[in-house]
Structure 1
Amino acid sequence: MPTVLITGCSSGFGLAAAKLFLHQGWKVIATMRTPDPTCLPENDKLTMLPLDITSAQSIRHVVKEAGAIDVLVNNAGFGAPVPVELTSVVTAQQLMNTNVLGTLSLTQAFLPLMRERKSGVIINVSSSVTTKAMPLIGLYRASKAALNAWSESLSIEVRPFGIRVHIVLPGRSPETKFGENARAHFAGMDDPAYGQMVREFIQSVGESNSPVTHADDVANAIFAIAHNPDAPLYTAAGEDAGLWLKEAQQHSPFAY
């Protein structure tokens, strides 16, 4: 029975992916900062583990408990809508430490086990905003673009070892905690230059009538990639993400 480890399973994309893999009979190791046994149904194929991907000690514990896995889904992330001018070094470091370095550290920890088995799939959940410039998410976008960059290189480096690397690009989703995090971590609400822009952005998260990405869109994309040895490097998940990726491919056909 194949085993998948998914980070960030307390809500949103990670939770939906964990439910889908369990429904399909996989062994699922669902990780989150503070495990909540009520967020997933009881299942003898489910293991829940605490994980802070910015903590080396936490990563070592999870790798020891999980052992060899077939698929690693790096979904945990952090987002904050902040104008570039107002982005503090602390916020920028949190974005990079979580979205880039934390994901990198967990991936590095599992790669030796995958190389030893000469098989494995690594699926990194990035963001479709990397394909399109938008206001207020400059440093978030930069962190996800950095994730894309090292994922691209890694995909070439580990291919000879039978390991696949893929990048999922979700769009805007009303089912994640991005809006909640926005209200908790944004800067500029009362700034005379950017205040109105920030307030309108936060209000628009999950409230637009335009196409959006649902958690099941991302879960289905992740599950399909896990089963498809010919899956592309980039996969858009969600109607809006698909439109943005198509636009990006038209403008730069070699980028995605």
Structure 2
Amino acid sequence: MPTVLITGCSSGFGLETAKLFLEKGWKVVATMRQPRADILPESDNLTVLPLDVTDRASIARALAQAGDIDVLVNNAGFGAAVPIELIDPDAAHQLFETNTLGTLAMLQAVLPRFRERRRGTIINVTSTVTLRPLPLVGVYRASKAAVNALSESLAVEMEPLGVRVHIVLPGRSPETNFGNNAMPHLRGLDNVDYKPMIEGMIAQFREEGGPVTHAVDVADAIWLAATDPSAPFKIAAGEDAVQWMAETG
């Protein structure tokens, strides 16, 4: 029975992915900074562990408890919507520390196992905002675009060693905490130049209708990457994500 380890399972994409893999009969190691077993169905195949991707000691403890895994899903991350000029340096550092360096830390912890066995699958969840420039998400976009670039090189390095690498790119989703997590970092509503831009972005994010990405779309894309050796390296997740990828190539 294969085992998947998923980071960031407390809500949204990670939570839905953990549920899907459990339904499919996999062993699931669901990790989150503050573990909550009550949000997932009871199962002998489920292990819930604390894991902070910005803390290498936390990563080491979680992997020691997880045992052998076959698939790593790097899903943990957060967003911030703020003009590049105004973003707090600490917030920018935190974005890269979590989204980019946290992914790198997980890779460096897991890859020796996969490389030794000459098998394993890495799935990095990034974002369709990396596909074209958008206002107010420049630093978040950069942190995720860095993961895309990292994944591209990693795929080349790992191919002769039997390890598959994929990226999953979700679109705009009303089912995640992106908006709530981003709001504390918001700056510029008191700036005459940036206020209209920010208000327009908030309205667009909250508007109903039109294509969006549902958490189940992301879970399905991750399942495809995990189970189909012929799956493409880059997988769009969600109707809007598929449209964006088609438009940008």
State the TM-score, normalizing by the size of structure 1.
0.95
Do the aligned partners of 1:172 and 1:206 also contact (CA within 8 Å) in 2? no
Equivalence for 1:226:
226
SS at match of 1:166: strand
AA partner of residue 165 (structure 1): V
SS at match of 2:222: helix
Which residues of 2 match residues 1-256 of structure 1 at below 5 A?
A: 1-249=1-249
AA partner of residue 101 (structure 2): L
Aligned length: 249
AA partner of residue 195 (structure 2): G
AA partner of residue 173 (structure 1): S
Counterpart CA distance in 2 for 1:208 and 1:248 is 24
Using the TM superposition, name which of 75-84 and 207-216 deviates more. 207-216
Counterpart CA distance in 1 for 2:189 and 2:73 is 34
SS at match of 2:36: coil
Q: CA-to-partner distance for each residue in 1:56-98, whole Å, 9 max, x for gaps?
A: 1111111111122100000001100010111121111111111
SS at match of 1:38: helix
Moved over 4 A (4+): none
Counterpart CA distance in 2 for 1:218 and 1:205 is 18
SS at match of 1:158: helix
Do the aligned partners of 1:173 and 1:206 also contact (CA within 8 Å) in 2? no
Counterpart CA distance in 2 for 1:235 and 1:13 is 15
Give the CA deviation at 1:107: 1.0
AA partner of residue 169 (structure 1): L
Give the CA deviation at 1:206: 4.2
Counterpart CA distance in 2 for 1:117 and 1:173 is 36
SS at match of 2:143: helix
Equivalence for 1:253:
none
Do the aligned partners of 2:122 and 2:164 also contact (CA within 8 Å) in 1? yes
State the TM-score, normalizing by the size of structure 2.
0.97
Give the CA deviation at 1:193: 2.0
SS at match of 1:60: helix
What residue ranges of structure 2 are gaps of 5+ in the alignment?
none
Change (3 A) 1:105 1:240: same
Do the aligned partners of 2:12 and 2:175 also contact (CA within 8 Å) in 1? yes
Counterpart CA distance in 2 for 1:115 and 1:67 is 16
Identity of aligned residues (%): 60
Change (3 A) 1:227 1:206: farther
